[in-house]
A and B are shown apart, each in its own frame.
Chain A
């Protein structure tokens, strides 16, 4: 009897504390509400939280930038859905979740005439399909990158001209593609001549991947894992991220990176203004600053991802640009990853599980 009473008492205390904690937090947030604060949701250490940039922007616009970090695209969606007006000003959705955010009315329609640097974007990014709904633009592309062919320049002299090198028995046991359903399905679709974003024949893709399976040394999961296998001469060619390949090249490994003629997989991060933003003008200024030639050149030439600003792109050393797939030619060959519904993700993941279980 006594134990039961104690137990319920304990639970009551816990509940009260939990509720109090929740209440306290919101009160605090309301208390620090200053007029010129710009809240930015982005990945940690991802360009916009560079200390020099933040200091310069704050001084110029007499404001304060507060960064809130996200750890997944899904988390960003949740943050936008649960935020109160003014909690978030600008955020960085990528193209895979952008349609969800726009359809749920989480982003403000943009007026690109307020962005002085918009005209400098590569043409294809001015009309980025996912940023639009009913002809209205809701987000501005910022940086992009690719998942394409990395190869050992000691063993493979000329850059591979097709992703079919990953299906070539000549390199059996020296290939490594990533353990990722999206990469695998898109890769097989490119080889089979299907639309990588809307493949027509999933059974053919599954058969192709099963055929490719024994050629792999392994399916890699982390960039570090691939790097070690590559350095140890266990793997000569594989599917790799442009950023990781650039990093490995700087590390002195004999690695080449190429977006082959038949294409590869690309991604785009874009900036949007949250619906409830109290400082839309400041938000426009912020976006304008991060798509400027200076910002984009500085970041891309010091190990950042590829710029959307054409003037910045053209300034980058062409050898460096080509070596990490940042050049315009590579850009035009990419199939950018599009938004996928839960049902599509589920079907692709199941297909990939079947390949792995085979």
Chain B
């Protein structure tokens, strides 16, 4: 019986090996080779990355952006997931479909929609002008703000879903017990609901923060002259100057950052699992 179960994982193991682990190893080998043609193992790509302030600056900008996207997504997602799990009854499925729509939209279509929506003289601009909130042009397109908006739209559904799943597993009788013991609604939330839903929050943060680090389409299109992030630097290395080796090295620095943040987050998550 056990053997049979193991056999079922076989296809996925092969797919992972051939399409994820092998390419990673190839990339790792690239990252230790020189772009200037000399053969042999070299650390020059990594020293170049860490010694030039420009790459560190862009890395910092990328992390700040991703943190902003993650925090905003969390602020939007938690209440939404809470109401879906605990308050909405029949509406739940409709809300879920509405949240999932961005998944079914092509990435470029989604980004270009934001471009049109946010541009000066665009839909949002005209609306804010007509209700008298602003005069003149909005000026939000081609800023980091526009990038964050675009990324939040792309990633917050993941957060809603993971938190929703965690909240749904919270037994309602626990909430009743809490209130019958005299706890206020606020206290029940902070002492019962929130700790029990933390694994969902941590998973959500992981699923949003990690892919944000590597995005290049939203920054490129919505960020204008200030849209450069570490993802666009990698893209330029591969497509503009065929600097595969340096590009691979930057990708691995990014990969290391992902591993570190995942480890940290899963530590935090485990603490709540034990309770």
Contact = CB atoms under 8 A, between A and B. Distances in A.
Interface of A: 2-3, 6-7, 10, 74, 179-181, 213-214, 216-219, 221, 225, 228, 232-234, 342-343, 345-346, 349-350, 353-354, 356-357
Contact of A218 (B7, B14, B225, B233): B225
A350 B54 contact: yes
Nearest to B14: A10
A213 B7 CA distance: 58
Q: Which 3 pairs show the lowest CB-CB distances between chains A and B?
A: A218-B224, A356-B228, A345-B241
Given A74-B242, A214-B225, A346-B241, A3 B119 contact: no
A83 to B, nearest CB: 20
B114 to A, nearest CB: 13
A217 B54 contact: no
Contacts of B228: 353, 356-357
10 contacts: A3-B6, A217-B224, A219-B225, A342-B37, A342-B241, A345-B243, A346-B36, A346-B243, A346-B246, A354-B54
A353 B236 contact: yes
A177 B168 CA distance: 51
A101 B106 CA distance: 40
A28 to B, nearest CB: 26
A154 B241 CA distance: 38
Give the size range of B's interface with the partner.
20 to 34
B225 A216 contact: yes
Nearest to B246: A346
A41 B228 CA distance: 35
A93 B220 CA distance: 30
A180 B236 CA distance: 9
Contacts of B224: 216-219
Given A342-B241, A346-B243, A357-B57, A6 B225 contact: no
Contact of A232 (B3, B121, B241): B121
Contact of B35 (A214, A218, A342): A342
A2 B3 CA distance: 10
Nearest to A179: B220
B58 A357 contact: yes
B36 to A, nearest CB: 6
A159 to B, nearest CB: 26
A79 to B, nearest CB: 15
A234 B242 CA distance: 33
Given A214-B225, A350-B54, A356-B225, A6 B10 contact: yes
Contacts of A345: 241, 243
Contacts, number: 71
A225 B141 CA distance: 14
Contact of A217 (B10, B142, B221, B241): B142
Nearest to B220: A221
Contacts of A213: 225
Given A3-B10, A346-B35, A356-B225, A181 B240 contact: yes
Given A3-B10, A181-B240, A353-B233, 5 more contacts: A218-B142, A219-B224, A232-B121, A349-B237, A353-B58
Contacts of B227: 218, 356
A349 to B, nearest CB: 5
A349 B36 contact: no
Nearest to B18: A14
A345 to B, nearest CB: 5
Which among B36, B115, B241 has the highest number of chain A CB atoms within 10 Å?
B241
B271 interface: no
Contacts of B7: 3
B169 interface: no
Interface string B103-127: 0000000000001000111000000
Interface string B229-243: 000010011001111
B89 interface: no
Contacts of A181: 236, 240-241
Contact of A357 (B10, B37, B54, B240): B54
Nearest to B13: A7
A79 B36 CA distance: 21
A242 to B, nearest CB: 21
Nearest to B37: A342
Contacts of A218: 142, 224-225, 227
A353 B54 contact: yes
A226 to B, nearest CB: 12
Contact of B241 (A2, A6, A228, A349): A349
Nearest to A356: B228
Nearest to A344: B241
Nearest to B3: A2
Given A217-B224, A218-B142, A234-B120, A349 B240 contact: yes
Contacts of B120: 234
A77 to B, nearest CB: 11
Given A218-B225, A219-B224, A353-B236, A234 B119 contact: yes
Contacts of A216: 224-225
Nearest to A2: B3
A233 B121 CA distance: 10
A6 B3 CA distance: 13
Contacts of B236: 181, 349, 353
A2 B243 CA distance: 43
Contacts of A6: 10
A346 B120 CA distance: 36
A74 B188 CA distance: 64
A349 B121 contact: no
Nearest to A225: B221
Nearest to A351: B54
Nearest to A216: B225
B66 to A, nearest CB: 17
